[in-house]
Structure 1
C-alpha cells in the first residue's frame, strides 16, 4: 500500500529545534572560517614582509662587519709603512718593533699576522697564535706561546716563540728556511704603487682560515709591509643571524668560493698533493644556495623559491670590498618555518572558533529544545512507555484539562511500573543476604504504604523465624526478639490462617511489636496484617512477608492495585531470597573447607601450628589500618566487599601448598634427620669401632702383650672416639656455624673405617636398590665412618621440575634430595641443605599452582597472586617469581609483612622461642632497609599500632616489651 502524502511529509520533516540549531551552527561556522582565513593571510603577509626587512638588515650588518674588519687593518698597515722598522737592518733592530706589532695584533681580532719584506730579500713576520694548530710547522710549538716571530736575514732563518708578555720562550734556527718575499704577489703588487693593495679572499696555508692580505709600500720605497686578516668573524655573524633552525646563510666570492657559512661546516677541501683549497658553492650540498646564485635570480630583493618540493624565501646582495671586487651574501629560509607563528595563530583561531561553535551549538540546541518542549512532552511520554522506559518524568503543565489528566494518568502508570522494576533491580543487585532482606522489606512497605512489616523465613523444621522487621521507617535492631511461628498441629501454617482472615497472627505479632517498638509509641489505631507468602520455583514456602497497615488507611487510602503489585513481587523476592541463601550456604561451605585445609596444614606439623590461622587475622588488621589511614601514601586506600572476600580467602590459603611438603623436611630438627634421625646409625658405627678397639686389646693381651699398657692405649683410643662422636653429634645439631676448620675435622673423622659383614642390599626398597647401581660388593666390606653414597642422591624426576607457564624464576637444585652424611653434616648454618630448603620453599610454587587450577569467580581472580606473593621481596630477589614492589598488589605486600611478623613472634614452634616485640621489629627494620618488605606498609604497621593490637591478642605477656617506634621507622618516618 503506497504511503500517504501526509506520511511522506512526516518522514521528510525535522523538528523545529533541529532547524534552529542548524541555522545557528551554519552562521557561526561561516564566520569562523572567513575570519580565520583573513587572519592567516594578513599574518602571513606581515611575517613575509618582516622577513624581507630582516634579510636586508642581515646584508647591512654583514657589510658593516666586513668594513669593520678592513678599516682598522688598513690603518695598521699605514702606520707600519711609516714606522722605523723599514730601516732596521738585522733581527735585533727589527725586534725593537715587536711590542708595537704585538699590540697591533692584540688590538685587532681579525689580524692574523703582520710582516715586512725588504728589498734585499730579508723578511720579518709576527704572528698571533690563538691556540689553533699551525699547518706545515716542522716542530710543535713550545707550551705558552702567544706570538711567533719568523725572521729571514742574510739567508739565515730563525723562529722565535714569545709569551703574551713578550718574554722569549725559545729560539730555533732554520738553516733550510728559504723564502723570498720579493716573489710573493703581495710584494710585487705593492712595491711599485703608493696606494694600498688588497688581495681577493683565499685560504691561508698556515692557519687554514679564509682571509685576505693588505700590503703597502713603505715611505722609503725600499720595502713592503703586509697584514693578513681573517674573515672567520663572518661565520659568527651568519650563525647569530640564523633566523630559523633550517635557515642557510653563506658569503661567496665572485668565483664561487665559499668565504663563510652559517652551518659551521668546514670550508677546506683537498686539492691533491697534500694541498688544500676553499670549498666551492656546490660542495656545500645546499640546492637552495645554488638557486640563489643562478643568473636568473634577481639580486637585492627577497623572492620565493621551490626547492625539492619545499617553498623557500631567498635573498642575495653584494658586499663591496676595497679591492674593487665584491663578495655576495646569500640568505634563505623555509617558508614553513618563517610562517610557523602564522600557522600557530591559524590553529589557535580554529580551536577558538571550534570551541565557540560547540558552545553556540549547545546553546542553540538547548534554547530550541526549550521552545519546542511543550509540543513534544506528551509524545515523548508515550514513546517512553512504548519503549518500556519508566523513569521519572518532569511535570507537564498545560492549559488544556484533558492533557493534564492524561499526563497525571501516565505518570501514575509509570510510577507503578517503575516501583516494580526498582525493587527487582534492588533484589538482583544486592549480594549480601541480610541487606537483601532489609531492602526487600523496605521496598515492599514503601510500595504498599504500610506502617511496618516483618519478614519470616522458613527453617528446616518447617517453622517461621523472624529475619527482618521495621516500623515507621525504623529497622528493628534484633528481629530475633519477635516470636517464632511454629507449624500447627493440624499441619495448617499460621501464614495460611492469617491470609484466611483469622486474628491468630495479629495476636502474636502486634503485642510483641508494641513491646519492642515502645520507644516509638504504641499502636493506638487498629492494625491489620497483610500476609504475603514467598514461594520458590517448586512452589515451596520460603518465607512470609507480613505488612502491618492501619485498617482505615487500608480501607480508604491504599488502592487494590498496590496490594496486587506487592503480591506480584513476592515470587521474585522468594526466588532472590532462595538464591542468596544458597550462595550464602555455599560461601559458608567454602569458608569451612578453607579453614579445614588451613587447620590441617597447621596440625600436620608442630613447626607451623596456628600459623595459617593467625596470618589472616594480622593481614586483615593491616588492611583495615590502610583503609582507615587519613594521611600518607594509603590515605585513599579502600577495599570493596569483594576485595575483602578475596583477601580473606587468599590469606587463609596462603600456605595451602604445604600439604605437598614432606613433614620430615619441614620438621628437620637436625642435619641427619629424615623420617628418623640418622645420628643413631652413626652412633652405632662408633660403638662398633669402640668394640673393635676393645677386642683388639683383648687379642693383644692373649698374645702376651702388656695388659696395663694396652689398657691405657684402649682408654686413650676410646676417649678419642668419644670426642669425635661428640663433635659429630654437635655438628648434627646445626647450632654452630661450620667454619672451614670444623669441616676439615669432620672430613678427618669421616676417613675412619669400619668393617661391614652383612649385605647392605638386602631388605631395602626397590628405589634404593636402583640408586646403589651396579657397583660390585664384596663382604666383608671396609667403609668410611661417614660417607656420601650413591644411594644418598635422589635424582629429580620430570614431575619434580618447576612447572612452566606460571612465571616462576627459582633456581632448582640438581637433586631432589641429597642425604649424604658428609654433605648434610657440613651444612654451614642451620639444619637444611640446599635441596631441603628448596623443597620447603617449593610450597609457595605448589600454592600458586593449586590455586590457579581452582575456577575462582571473576571477583576472586587475584587470590593466587595475593596468596602466592608473600615470599617475594621488594627488590625482586624473593621467590618464586622474583617480583619487584611495583609488580605486587598492596594486599600481597601486606601479607608478606604479616607472614614474617607471625613467624618471628610465634610461640608454638618447638625449635625456637617466640621473639619479643622489640626483637621482631628490629629484624623487620633491617629487612625493610634491605628492600625485603614494603617500607610504607611497614611504617603503617608501626604507626597504626597494628603490631601491638596483634600482640595483645596472640603473644604472651613476656613477649610484649617497649618498642622504639621512631628508631624503627628510620627513613620511612
Structure 2
C-alpha cells in the first residue's frame, strides 16, 4: 500500500488550508460542493467521486455530483447536466435502516468505510455498482465512503471516492489510512461550511418570512395597503434593473450585485411597515365623513327630519287657512320648493362627501351655508345642521383626510424608520432603513420626514419614491379614489420631475426603458392603459 512522503503530506496540508479559505468565502452551494469533491479526488488521485445529499424527507441519499474521469462523466453540481441515477434509500419498506448500501451505512452510523476491492467484499450489496460497470465496461475496485455531519451530528452529505490510482504507474490501488484521514479532515471542514451556508440560508428565509408576516398583518388590516406593499417592491426592482443596465448619462455608473438586489428588495417589502401602527379608520377612510362608519347616513337622517318638519309645518298652515284654496296652493308650492332645495342640498353633500382632486372654494362655502341651518334633534335642542368636526371634514379640499389625519398617515414613514433602525441589520443589509425610509422625501428637500435633498439620498431611495408614487396613482383599489389612466399618471409624474418632487434622471430611465408600460400590462386594469405619446410627457425628451 502506497504511503506518502513528507512532500506529499505537505502538499495535502496546503490543499486543506486552501480549501478552508475557499469554503469560508464561497457562497454558491453547487460550486462549493464541486470544489470539495474535486479537491478530494485530487488529494487521493481517485478516478471518480460522488457526493450525496440527504433528501428533504431524510429518507434517501440523492446524487448531487457524479464525476468519473475514465468514463468522461460529469453530472450534477455546477455542470448543468442532470443526474439520472436514482437515489439510495436510507430505509427499507418496513422502516428499518438500509445497511446493504455502503453510502447508507456510512450515513446511519457516521463511520467511514474503506474497501480495497468491492468485487471481493461480502459485507455490502454492490449489485448496482456492478451493473453500472457492466453497462459501461468499467471496473470499480477501491472505494472510500466518508459521511459529512454537522456540529449536531446531523447528516449533511456523503462523499464517496472510487479507484485510487498509484501516482507513478496509474495502477488502481486501495485508499490508504492516510488517504482516509485526510478525506475525513476534508469532510469535517466541508460539513462546517455546508452547515454555515444552511444556517445563513435559514436565517435569510426566516427574515423574509418575518417581512411577509408584517405585510400579511398590514394586508389583513387593510387590503388596499397590502396590494401596495406587493407592487412597490416589484416596480422598484424593475426600475433598479433598468438603471443597472444604463450605460450612458448621469447614472451610467450605477451597478448592483445580487446582494444589493436582495437588500433593495427587502427595503421595498418593508417600505410601509409603519402602517401597521396606523388606525384602520384613517388608512381606509373612503369618504370625508367616515370614521368607524360613514356619517353621511346621519346627515341623510337630518335632511329627512327637515323634509318632515317642512311638510308638517305646511300641513298646519293649510289647516289654519280654513279651506282657502288659493292659500293652500301657495303653501303647497312653497313646500315643494323647500323640499326640492333640501333634496338638492342633500345630493350636493353626498357628492362632497366622496372627496376628489380639489374642492372649489365656492363649494366649500356652500357646505358652510348648509351647515349653518338650524334643526331640532331628538333631544329637542336646536343646533347647527353640521357640528364642527363634520364641517371640518366636509370642507376638505383634497381627498378625504383632514390635516390631523394626514399627519397620522404621514407618521407611518417615521414609524417605519423607527422600526427598521431598531433592528440589528447585518452588514450586507445595513442600508434597508435608508432605502425604505426615503420614499416620501423630495429632491428639493420639501419631503418628509427628514426633509432630505437629492444629494442626501441614495439612488435606491430615490427610485423607490418613483415606484411608490406611480403605483399609488394607478391603483384602482383605493377606497378614496379611482385608478388613474396611464397617460394621466405619467403626466402627473412628469410634472413631479419638473417641480423637484422626484429625480428627473430616474424618471427619464423610467420612461425611456418603458418600465411604466411593462408594469401597466402586468398589473394594471387594461381599461386604464390608453395610448401614450412620450413626446407629450412633461419633463421627458425622447
* Aligned equivalent of 2:64: 467
* Aligned equivalent of 1:624: 241
* Aligned equivalent of 2:199: 582
* Aligned equivalent of 1:787: 387
The separation in 2 between residues aligned to 1:913 and 1:739, in whole angstroms, is 20
Quickly say closer, same or farther: Cα 1:858–1:544, change in 2 above 3 A: same
Q: In the alignment, which of 8, 15, 18 is matched to residue 422 of structure 1? A: 18
Quickly say closer, same or farther: Cα 1:554–1:497, change in 2 above 3 A: farther
Cα shift at 1:557: 9.8
The separation in 2 between residues aligned to 1:968 and 1:677, in whole angstroms, is 38
User: Any runs of at least 4 consecutive aligned residues in structure 1 with deviations exceeding 6 A, and if so which?
Assistant: 509-515
Could you give the per-residue CA deviations for residues 50-91 of structure 1, whole angstroms, max 9, x where no partner exists?
xxxxxxxxxxxxxxxxxxxxxxxxxxxxxxxxxxxxxxxxxx
The separation in 2 between residues aligned to 1:923 and 1:548, in whole angstroms, is 69
* Aligned equivalent of 1:895: 464
* Aligned equivalent of 2:109: none
The separation in 1 between residues aligned to 2:481 and 2:239, in whole angstroms, is 26
1:823 has 2:444 as partner: no
Quickly say closer, same or farther: Cα 1:749–1:943, change in 2 above 3 A: closer
1:862 has 2:431 as partner: yes
- Aligned residue for 2:516, secondary structure, equals helix
Q: In the alignment, which of 736, 745, 751 is matched to residue 372 of structure 2? A: 751
User: What is the number of equivalent residue pairs in this alignment?
Assistant: 508
The separation in 1 between residues aligned to 2:529 and 2:346, in whole angstroms, is 41
Cα shift at 1:847: 0.9
Aligned partners of 1:526 and 1:551 also within 8 Å: no
Could you give the per-residue CA deviations for residues 783-828 of structure 1, whole angstroms, max 9, x where no partner exists?
111121xxxxxxxxxxxxxxxxxxxxxxxxxxxxxxx111111112
The separation in 1 between residues aligned to 2:45 and 2:516, in whole angstroms, is 52
Q: In the alignment, which of 852, 877, 891 is matched to residue 421 of structure 2? A: 852
Question: Structure 1: any 5+ residue segments left out of the alignment?
Answer: 1-407, 516-521, 759-779, 789-819
The separation in 1 between residues aligned to 2:508 and 2:129, in whole angstroms, is 55
Q: In the alignment, which of 218, 221, 229 is matched to residue 604 of structure 1? A: 221
* Aligned equivalent of 1:561: 178
Question: Structure 2: any 5+ residue segments left out of the alignment?
Answer: 107-112
Cα shift at 1:865: 0.7
Could you give the per-residue CA deviations for residues 691-738 of structure 1, whole angstroms, max 9, x where no partner exists?
222222333344445433333332222222222222222221224743
* Aligned equivalent of 1:946: 515
Quickly say closer, same or farther: Cα 1:462–1:897, change in 2 above 3 A: same
Could you give the per-residue CA deviations for residues 119-158 of structure 1, whole angstroms, max 9, x where no partner exists?
xxxxxxxxxxxxxxxxxxxxxxxxxxxxxxxxxxxxxxxx
Q: Which has the higher contact order (CA 8 A, sep 6+)?
A: 2
Quickly say closer, same or farther: Cα 1:836–1:442, change in 2 above 3 A: farther
1:491 has 2:112 as partner: no
- Aligned residue for 1:610, secondary structure, equals helix
* Aligned equivalent of 1:925: 494
Cα shift at 1:525: 5.0
Cα shift at 1:542: 2.4
The separation in 2 between residues aligned to 1:679 and 1:952, in whole angstroms, is 37
Aligned partners of 2:420 and 2:433 also within 8 Å: yes
Aligned partners of 1:449 and 1:558 also within 8 Å: no
1:482 has 2:85 as partner: yes
Aligned partners of 2:497 and 2:539 also within 8 Å: no
1:549 has 2:155 as partner: no
Aligned-pair Cα RMSD in Å: 3.1
Cα shift at 1:882: 1.1
Cα shift at 1:950: 2.7
Q: In the alignment, which of 148, 151, 155 is matched to residue 534 of structure 1? A: 148
* Aligned equivalent of 1:723: 344
Quickly say closer, same or farther: Cα 1:626–1:557, change in 2 above 3 A: farther
Aligned partners of 2:417 and 2:436 also within 8 Å: yes
Within-5 A mapping of 1:33-432 = 412-432=8-28
Q: In the alignment, which of 680, 684, 691 is matched to residue 297 of structure 2? A: 680
Quickly say closer, same or farther: Cα 1:514–1:747, change in 2 above 3 A: farther
Aligned partners of 1:465 and 1:480 also within 8 Å: no
- Aligned residue for 2:145, secondary structure, equals strand
Cα shift at 1:963: 3.6
Quickly say closer, same or farther: Cα 1:537–1:525, change in 2 above 3 A: same
